[in-house]
Amino acid sequence: MLHTLPLLLPLLTSALAQDEQPVEPSTTSAEVGSPEAAAPSADAPVAPAAPAAAPAAEDTRVRTTKVDIIAKRSSAYLYDMVQLHVDHLQGAIEEANGATCDGLVLFIDGYPITQNPPKSCDPDTGIISFVLDRNNENDHNWNLILGEPKGFTKDVAVTIGSSDTRFYASAAKMNLTVLPKGWFYTWVVIAFVTIALVNYLALKTPLLREPTRGGRVPATEMPFSLARTQQAFWLVLSGLAYLFVFLMTWDVDTFSPSVLALVLVSSGTVVGAEMIDQKKERGLHQQHRELEDAAARSPASERVKRARERVARAIARQPSKGFFFDLLSDGNAVSLQRAQVAGWTIILGWVFVRSVYADLTMPEFSETMLALMGVSSGTYLAGKSAEGKLPESGTTAAGDAPPPVDPGPATEGPAGDVDASSGTTS
């Protein structure tokens, strides 16, 4: 065996060298990553291919994204022009059933501004322009938008619609002027001066007082007249309210028929009161003349003297006893019909002011309310005709007999007869 050892040594050395080399990972006949490795074998099941991702659908919804005010101020006002930027404006035009933009409607805070078609539009750029116009058709909605202001401006949502009942989503807001600051302060100054002037004239002149009609009381000390005060109240209130609405909205046709009726009722009350006063004055002077004649015939009659004094005091008139007492009393005590007129005047005045503030327009009163005001004025006039009424001519007080009249010289009749007019015999 020794003679074979030299032959075995090279073989052992070669085997040991192979054991020291790193073992390569076994692979298939095809290299990893080669086309052969990527291809599945004929016997392996084939997995279904994943569907290709669909392209994102285009958003075609109509949506207002921005609004621009075409004016030299940051807040829009009535009759300004605004431009709306609308996504897919063409779709809105088609839904409005028209080839042009005329069918589109401007919406402000959800209220349609009807009868106000766009001035221009461009479907390619999505820009559409409107003028903030106020007319008889959309006047009510403008009242809802502008009414009950809590500041000079407010933020409102703006969009368009395909009709006056359907509007599109919007992310656009606009600052809208509710009360023009400069004109509002102008009105405040005018209102303050007007009220101060009326108060001055009421205190220093006979503007709101009863007429003197030749009485001894100075004109500036006469009692205040309820009818004249009511007329001045409605004239000042309606005038200032009309001016306020005009300066805030530039609308000249706001004087409602019911407000005109209130002014006419108050004016009619003044005319009726003046006619009653004149009639009473003529009656007093007639009584005074008759009592003067009776006093001349019977200078010793106490009843004639007392009647003359009462009539003279009524003609001379009594001075004012205070503004509220003069308005509510008949000269002696508070009168129910006068309190009724004053009360309803104050109530309707408050409703008037509240309506102007809430709607920025002159109020409309129902026929029932106007009839109530007329009935109150009629009741006042009926009561006024009986206020301070003295007994008819020929009497001195209720239930008194006529004052004695001096029969004068006897009237001759047939001889031996008694004259019926004198009660004497010839």
Output the domain CATH number for residue 173: 2.60.40.10
For residues 360 and 376, membership in a common domain is answered with yes
280 with 190, same domain: the answer is: yes
Domain that holds residue 173: 63-178
**Which of 178, 213, 245 is the last residue in one of the domains?**
178
How far apart CA 25 and CA 27 sit, in angstroms, is 6
Task: Specify whether 256 is located in the same domain as 301.
Answer: yes
Under 8 Å between Cβ of 287 and 393: yes
Q: Are 131 and 68 within one domain?
A: yes
Residue 20 has pLDDT above 90, yes or no: no
Residue among 208, 227, 168, 163 at smallest CA distance from 379: 227
Are 103 and 188 in the same domain?
no
The model's confidence at residue 309, banded by pLDDT at 50, 70 and 90, is confident
**Per-residue pLDDT at 294:** 75
**pLDDT band with cut points at 50, 70 and 90 for residue 61:** confident
Structural domain includes residue 377: yes
Give domain status of residue 130, yes or no: yes
393 falls within a domain:
no
Domain end marker among 158, 178, 198: 178
Beta bridge partners of 52: none
Residues 144 and 196 in one domain: no
Q: How many domains does the chain have?
A: 2
Give the C-alpha distances (Å, rounded to integers) separating 181 from 132, 145, 244, 361. Answer: 19, 18, 12, 18
Q: Is residue 417 part of a domain?
A: no
Residue 404 lies in a domain: no
Beta-bridged to residue 157, according to DSSP, are 173
Chain segment 213-237, per-residue pLDDT in tens:
666 778 888 889 999 999 999 999 9
Confidence check: pLDDT of 167 > 60: yes
Indicate whether 234 and 251 sit together in one domain. yes
Looking at 124, 149, 178, the residue that finishes a domain is 178
Is residue 399 included in any domain, yes or no?
no
Residues 315 and 190 in one domain: yes
Helix/strand/coil percent split, the chain, to 5: 45, 15, 40
409 in any annotated domain? no
User: Do 170 and 189 have their domain in common?
Assistant: no
Q: Tell me, rounded to whole angstroms, the distance of Cα 139 from its chain centroid.
A: 12
| Predicted confidence (pLDDT) per residue in 77-125, tens digit | 999 999 999 999 999 998 887 778 889 999 999 999 999 999 999 999 9
The residue type at 292: E
Residues 170, 193, single domain; the answer is no
* 204 and 114 belong to one structural domain: no
- Strands 169-170 and 63-70, bridge-based pairing: parallel
Residues 253 and 369 grouped into a single domain? yes
Q: Which residue has the tokens 């070669």?
A: 14
